[in-house]
Amino acid sequence: MTVKHLSVDYNKVNERGTFSPGDTLSGKVTVVTSKEIKVQCFLVKAKGKAKVTWCEQGQTHSNKKKYFYFEHIILQDKNKGDGSEIISPGRNVYPFTFVIPKTDMPSSYEGKWGKITYSLRAQLTQSIWLVNKTKAEFPFLTKSEFPFASKSEMIIIGLKEQHHATRISFYGSAKVTMNVTTEKVGVKQGEAVGVSVEVVNDSAHTVTPKFYLCEKQTFAAQSKRVVYTNDTLCGTGDSVPAETSLTMTKVLSIPPQLPPTFFNCCMMKLEYRIKVTLDVPLAKDPEIKLPLVILLGSPKPHQQKPKRSIWFRKLPG
């Protein structure tokens, strides 16, 4: 093939490697050819979009939203068909610049049945049957101060405050009381949160607390919604023998790569909970769930994925 290489690259604007509303997105499109070629159109596009899709009872539910779309024409056939625009043989570099709109948009995210992506695409069209394409996604970070709550919810959210819950379970005439307290509701990526558990075991069985980090993804389309949950076991506490009580504290580490909580997308949201259960023999395990908001952590350099160019021929019909 005449086109030996086609790639699109962008310039970083900060140490995190992310872009936000109002930022200037600039870069270059590089094309290498073995000889002079004529093109009908050569352009680069910038796009931000969200999309959800899932199947339920043989029916597909889907929805999508476009946050922005820009095109920059690099070369275009003025006569609409005879391929009068020329690319010289060898390596050719074409710069581009876009300004991302200053509107509230969610961060990049990929979930079970939906994703939010921001990308650059370059397309070189030589004829109706010969099109070269390449794509590069860039990480996007919302500028919303509270992407994890609506205005009504913000009133009751105290991210630095403790949260407490009690659960009493009966086994015959005996009971087991579990009190759970988290040191705070809001935790940054890569940080840790302490969870205190008091167990008063008046039963005839030994009980053991277990600690989980619960993830809840919600997707909405066409007045329907679907929920995906994932519970990760973070640790096991000390066993509490029959007719005794014990108080213990477990420190749960939040993985740095875990996406932050967000609500500022109309088609999907991401929530977390801390769950503590009591492993009780021959009985349904009692559990307590407390809210957890995962916040954006400290900036870390973004590891840019290697670019890959894709060539294909579009056949007539």
Q: Which residue has the higher pLDDT, 219 or 151?
A: 219
Burial letters for 194-222: b for 16+ Cβ neighbours within 10 Å, e otherwise?
ebbbbbbbebebebbbbbbbbbebbbbbe
- Both 157 and 291 in a single domain? yes
What are the Cα distances from residue 284, in Å, to 141, 206, 209, 211? 42, 14, 13, 16
Q: Do 81 and 106 belong to one domain?
A: yes
Report if residue 208 sits inside a domain: yes
Query: Is residue 127 one of the residues assigned to a domain?
Result: yes
pLDDT of residue 77: 74
- Regarding whether 245 and 210 lie in a shared domain, the answer is yes
> Do the domain assignments include residue 260?
yes
Domain containing residue 78: 3-141+302-312
Question: What is the percent of the chain with per-residue pLDDT over 90, rounded to a whole number?
Answer: 67
pLDDT in tens, 166-208: 887 777 667 889 999 999 999 999 999 999 999 999 988 899 9
Amino acid at position 78, single letter = K
* Per-chain mean pLDDT for the chain: 88
Residue 317 inside a domain? The answer is no
Sequence-ordered alpha helix ranges (H) in 208-315: none
Question: Cβ distance 179 to 197 under 8 Å?
Answer: yes
115-139: burial string, b at 16+ Cβ within 10 Å, e else:
ebbbbbbbbbbbeeebbbebbbbbb
Please check whether residues 31 and 79 belong to one and the same domain. Answer: yes
- Name the token pair of 109: 């995210």
Residues 157 and 210 in one domain: yes
| pLDDT in the model for residue 298 | 77
For residue 309, what pLDDT is reported?
38
Question: In this predicted model, which residue has the larger pLDDT, 246 or 151?
Answer: 246
Q: What order of strands is seen across the sheet that includes strand 90-99? A: 3-10, 24-33, 90-99
Domain CATH for 95: 2.60.40.640
Look at residues 156, 164, 274 and name the one whose alpha carbon lies nearest to residue 216. Answer: 274
**Which tokens in the block code for residue 100?**
């991302």
Same domain? For 156 and 199 the reply is: yes
Same domain? For 129 and 163 the reply is: no
Is 228 a residue whose pLDDT tops 50? Answer: yes
Rounded distance, CA 62 to CA 267, Å?
Answer: 10
> Do residue 290 and residue 307 come from a single domain?
no
Q: Do 263 and 223 reside in the same domain of the chain?
A: yes
- pLDDT-derived band of residue 11, with 50, 70 and 90 as boundaries? very high
pLDDT band at 144 (very low <50, low <70, confident <90, very high): confident
Statement to judge: residues 137 and 162 lie in one domain: no
For 104-136, the pLDDT digits (tens) are: 999 999 999 999 999 999 999 988 888 999 999
138 neighbors 19 (Cβ within 8 angstroms): yes
Question: Is the pLDDT score of 316 beyond 60?
Answer: no
Q: Report if residue 146 sits inside a domain.
A: no
> Would residue 132 count as lying in a domain?
yes
Which is it for strands 186-188 and 287-295: parallel, antiparallel or unpaired?
parallel
Report the number of distinct structural domains present in the chain. Answer: 2
Q: What pLDDT score does 317 carry?
A: 39
- 98: amino acid identity, one letter: F
Choose among 305, 304, 199, 182: nearest CA to 254: 182
